[in-house]
């Protein structure tokens, strides 16, 4: 196809390009413009006049700041805790749901367990603050029932990350089980029958037939989770944090927000953000290709 | 023997699933019970109680009668309804264009979209862009912010690709242009995908908290999620109870901050609960069809 005919085809499709204009404008304004703006990480911010190019000065400062190493560690620890501890739960949940062919009970459990996924973190924080309340929350009621003193988990440095993990699991266990349940329901029924004829019991059916069929979604989900390890959950942390536990849950996103938008150290915060975004892109891209190689399913 | 083991294990699994469901349901119902209880009796409620002690709607009268909360509720609805409508429209029209075969420049456009999808711009820069557009503290910033979500755009494209080519070709033969084909054929045939991405956008817009909190600064332009955070996380009771003087009776003295908070959380949950049947039907199927992880 030569340039001339290409132009002619574009002219013939001019209506299409006009229809594309709003999208092009939106993406340019809300995505491309801020991405280009991130070059501020290499410049010193000036309110008036041109910004001054300073190379990697802010990155050097960033890596020399003890708080940043702490924040980076927090991000990775919280992400990894969520990744490894929560990962098996939706699979177990789907396996358990699958034991109920009788639709009504399964349907009810599904409807209830998907719901928290659609609540905002602010609402979930509201629910969990009551849930964990020292005076009359269920959790402490149970603890007292067994004769132990009530505990304030939300202000306990040792407990707060577990609260993040638990509330994340609470929010997503049902929702994340969808993909596994769909894979289980897609298994050819004749496989089960053949196994029963051969004298297999329920446990053998789960381990020999169902679990192998879950290999692909398991690998896909796990690998993609790795790709998002730099996102430890901004909304969640913002809503579960308080002065006594902040040092344990301060993640890159909250750090950038505080240093950049609250303290106005724009270039420094942008450097932190750029570091996070670049590592994120590298991880997402590599896990996407790894996932494609292992399971033929990628991130998009 | 094997059969008996099977029943026992099934019973155990049933109990575990019931327990998990209860950990999700009871705290939510407990909030409703608190919100609807008689303010004087709220302190008698335990965390596991799902039935109000006494019955009163005074908490909702205070919450909804509070001009600040009323305003925030209106703003949230505005951003969600207008934002979702615009998002659906622009996502669909863009998906139509990008599914046209032989569109010159399609590959580079798709590459740009993938880049946009995985590279998160910095919040400082997003803030500055909104500021440069003079949209700070303007609800339109939240309506227009990410008006087209690339994930949802790709899902919409997959749906539109399903429309048989012969249908569109026939319309073209009859002299219909792209706009006519889009408006008269593609849109009417896309009712289900429109509902699907409509649910995606509505949930996203209603729940958006962080960007609302940095783009919208004044009380008049705040949204429910941001206001709720003040009550829930920061424990700002002054704003919440401030409007209680609207009440003309002697219930004011009895008002319970926890119960007012519960009522506000309930107000923030109601739209999601009202849409939940549609969300389940379309959002869930859409996610399974689109094969994306939310």
Residues lower than pLDDT 70 in chain A: 1, 299-300
pLDDT mean across residues, chain B: 89
The shortest CB-CB distance from B97 to any of A19, A133, A242 is to: A19
Find the closest chain A residue to B6 by CA distance.
Answer: A202
Chain B interface, mutation test: which of A17, A19, A51, A97, most B Cβ atoms within 10 Å? A19
Please indicate whether, in this complex, the C-beta atoms of A119 and B272 are within 8 angstroms of each other.
yes
| A-chain residues near B123 (CB < 8 A) | 253, 256-257, 260-261, 273
Q: Residue B232: which of A23, A126, A179 has the nearest Cβ?
A: A126
Q: CB distance A131–B47 less than 8 Å?
A: yes
Would you place residue B1 in the very low, low, confident or very high pLDDT band (cuts 50, 70, 90)?
very low
The backbone region for A298, taken as left when phi is positive above 0, alpha when psi lies in -120 to 50, beta otherwise, is: beta
Residue with tokens 């004298």, as numbered in its chain: A199
Please report residues of A whose CB lies closer than 8 A to that of B265: 123, 126-127
- Tell me if chain A has a CB within 8 Å of the CB of B24: yes
- The predicted structure's pLDDT at residue A56: 95
Q: How confident is the model at residue B2, as a pLDDT? A: 47
Task: Write down the pLDDT at residue B292.
Answer: 46
Query: Distance from B11 to chain A by nearest Cα, in Å?
Result: 10
CA distances from B284 to A21, A37, B227 (A): 31, 36, 29
A71, A248 Cβ separation under 8 angstroms: no
Instruction: Sort A49 into a burial class: Cβ within 10 Å, 0-12 / 13-18 / 19+.
Output: exposed
| Domains present along chain B, CATH in parentheses | 74-224+270-289 (1.10.3720.10)
The answer to whether the Cβ–Cβ distance between A178 and B284 falls below 8 Å is yes
Do A130 and B34 make contact, defined as CB atoms within 8 angstroms? yes
**What region does B290 belong to: left with phi over 0, alpha with psi -120 to 50, or beta?**
alpha
Helix crossing, A266-295 with B106-118: angle to 10°? 110
For residue range A107-155, what is the model confidence (pLDDT) as tens digits? 999 999 999 999 999 999 999 999 998 888 889 989 999 999 999 999 9
User: Does residue B229 contact residue B213 with C-beta atoms inside 8 Å?
Assistant: yes
Question: Are the beta carbons of A170 and B262 separated by less than 8 Å?
Answer: no
Whether residue B248 is predicted with pLDDT greater than 70 in this model: the reply is no
Is B94 in Cβ contact with A300 (below 8 Å)?
no
Report pLDDT for A269: 96
Considering only alpha carbons, which residue of chain B is nearest residue A6?
A: B104
**Of B25, B43, B90, which has the smallest distance from its Cβ to A26's Cβ?**
B90
Find the DSSP H helices in chain B.
Answer: 2-36, 58-65, 67-98, 106-118, 123-132, 139-144, 150-161, 165-173, 178-181, 187-189, 191-207, 210-215, 224-232, 237-242, 257-278, 284-290
Q: What is the pLDDT of residue B66?
A: 87
Q: Average pLDDT of B104-129?
A: 92
Give the span between the Cα atoms of A264 and A258, in whole angstroms.
8
Q: What is the Rg, in whole angstroms, of the alpha carbon atoms belonging to chain B? A: 24
For B177-230, the pLDDT digits (tens) are 999 999 999 999 999 999 999 999 999 999 999 999 999 999 899 999 999 999
B 49-88 near A (Cβ less than 8 A): none
Distance of residue A33 Cα from the nearest chain B Cα, in angstroms: 7
| Contact residues, B window 183-242, toward A, CB-based 8 Å cutoff | 203, 206-210, 214, 225, 228-229, 232-233
Q: Which residue of B has its CA nearest to A239?
A: B233
B243: pLDDT strictly greater than 70: no
Q: Can you give the pTM of this predicted structure?
A: 0.92
Rounded to a whole number of angstroms, the distance from the CA of A112 to the nearest CA of chain B is 6
3-state SS assignment for residue A193: helix
> Minimal CA–CA distance to A164: which of A274, A253, A74, A71?
A74
B117 near A CB under 8 A: yes
Of B21, B100, B128, the CB nearest to A109: B21
Pick A261's closest partner by Cβ from B113, B124, B229.
B124
Does B251 have pLDDT greater than 70?
no
Question: What is residue A294's predicted lDDT score, i.e. its pLDDT?
Answer: 86
CA distances from A198 to A187, B4, B244 (A): 18, 19, 72
Of chain B residues 148-167, which have a CB less than 8 A from chain A? 148, 151, 154
């Amino acid at each position: 196809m030569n340039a001339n005919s290409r132009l002619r085809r574009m002219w013939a499709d001019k209506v299409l390009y006009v229809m594309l204009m709003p999208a092009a404008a939106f993406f340019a304004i809300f995505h491309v413009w801020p991405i280009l703006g991130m070059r501020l990480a290499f410049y010193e911010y000036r309110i008036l006049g041109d910004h001054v190019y300073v190379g990697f000065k802010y990155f050097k400062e960033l890596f020399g700041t003890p708080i940043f190493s702490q924040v980076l560690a927090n991000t990775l620890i919280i992400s990894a805790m969520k990744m490894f501890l929560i990962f098996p739960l939706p699979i177990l949940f789907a396996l358990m749901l699958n034991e109920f062919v009788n639709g009504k009970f399964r349907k009810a459990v599904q409807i209830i367990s998907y719901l928290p996924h659609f609540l905002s973190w602010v609402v979930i924080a509201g629910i969990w603050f009551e849930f964990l309340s020292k005076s009359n929350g269920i959790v402490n009621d149970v603890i007292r029932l067994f004769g132990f003193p009530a505990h304030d988990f939300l202000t306990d440095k040792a407990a707060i990350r577990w609260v993040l993990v638990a509330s994340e699991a609470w929010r997503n266990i049902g929702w994340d089980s969808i993909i596994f349940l769909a894979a289980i329901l897609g298994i050819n029924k004749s496989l089960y029958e053949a196994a029963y004829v051969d004298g297999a019991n329920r446990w053998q059916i789960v381990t020999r037939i169902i679990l192998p069929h879950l290999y692909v979604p398991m690998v896909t989900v796990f690998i993609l989770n790795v790709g998002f390890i730099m996102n430890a959950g901004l909304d969640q942390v913002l809503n579960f944090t308080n002065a006594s536990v902040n040092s344990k849950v301060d993640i890159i996103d909250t750090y950038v927000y505080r240093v950049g938008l609250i303290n106005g150290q724009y270039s420094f915060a942008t450097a932190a953000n750029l570091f996070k975004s670049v590592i994120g892109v590298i991880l997402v891209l590599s896990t996407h290709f790894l996932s494609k190689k292992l399971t033929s399913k990628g991130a998009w | 023997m094997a059969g008996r083991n099977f029943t026992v294990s099934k019973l155990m699994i049933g109990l575990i699933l019931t327990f998990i469901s209860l950990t999700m349901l009871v705290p939510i119902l407990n909030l409703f019970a608190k919100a609807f209880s008689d303010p004087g009796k709220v302190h008698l409620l335990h965390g596991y109680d799902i039935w109000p002690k006494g019955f009163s709607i005074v908490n909702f009268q205070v919450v909804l009668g509070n001009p600040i909360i009323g305003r925030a509720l209106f703003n949230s609805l505005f951003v969600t309804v207008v934002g979702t409508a615009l998002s659906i429209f622009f996502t669909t029209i863009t998906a139509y264009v990008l599914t046209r075969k032989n569109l010159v420049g399609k590959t580079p456009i798709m590459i740009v979209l993938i880049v946009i999808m995985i590279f998160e711009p910095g919040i400082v820069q997003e803030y500055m862009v909104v500021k440069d557009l003079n949209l700070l503290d303007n609800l339109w910033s939240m309506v227009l912010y990410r008006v087209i979500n690339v994930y949802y755009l790709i899902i919409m494209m997959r749906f539109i690709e399903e429309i048989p080519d012969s249908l569109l070709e026939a319309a073209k033969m009859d002299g219909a242009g792209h706009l006519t084909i889009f408006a008269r054929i593609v849109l009417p045939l896309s009712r289900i995908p429109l509902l699907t991405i409509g649910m995606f956008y509505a949930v996203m817009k209603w729940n958006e908290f962080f960007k609302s909190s940095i783009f919208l600064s004044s009380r008049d332009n705040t949204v429910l999620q941001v206001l709720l955070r003040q009550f829930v996380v920061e424990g700002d009771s002054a704003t919440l109870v401030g409007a209680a003087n609207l009440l003309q009776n002697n219930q004011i003295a009895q008002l319970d901050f926890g119960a007012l908070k519960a009522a506000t959380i309930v107000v923030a949950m109601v739209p999601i609960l009202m849409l939940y049947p549609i969300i389940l039907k379309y959002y869930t199927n859409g996610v399974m069809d689109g094969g994306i992880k939310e």
